[in-house]
Amino acid sequence: MLRKVTDTILYVGANDHEVDLFEGQYVVPNGMAYNSYVILDEKVAVMDTIDASKTEEWLKNIAQALDADISCVNVKATTEEHLGFTGDGSGMSCHAVCLLEQL
């Protein structure tokens, strides 16, 4: 679902009504929302990825936000949340790259 937040921020997340536990431990009887945003500025940024089960919908939303064909959207991301020093809350790291090329 694509929603305009401001002229330069677009919501590109997805709702998941199939999930019953958040992070495997918190009951969510109505499902949950995976929040993700495209920021259109001098450089385009995508904030937050979403669950793998909603990847296709997410990529379609990003493509629509950028007025691009979905075949032109390729997102690479890594995170260390819940691992090592990030898991104990003493640190966090994240790296994401999104390359768009119109053919």
Q: Please name the helix (run of DSSP H) or strand (run of DSSP E) that holds residue 4, with its range, or none.
A: strand 3-4
Which structural domain, as residue segments, surrounds residue 65? Answer: 3-100
Q: Tell me, what CATH number does 68's domain have?
A: 3.60.15.10
* Span 20-71, pLDDT tens digits: 887 778 898 888 888 999 999 988 888 887 888 888 999 999 999 999 888 8
Counted domains in the chain? 1
The pTM of the full predicted model, rounded to 2 decimals, is 0.71
Task: For residue 10, count CB atoms less than 10 angstroms from its CB and return exposed for 0-12, middle for 13-18, buried for 19 or more.
Answer: buried
Virtual CA dihedral for 34, 56, 73, 69, nearest 10 degrees?
-120
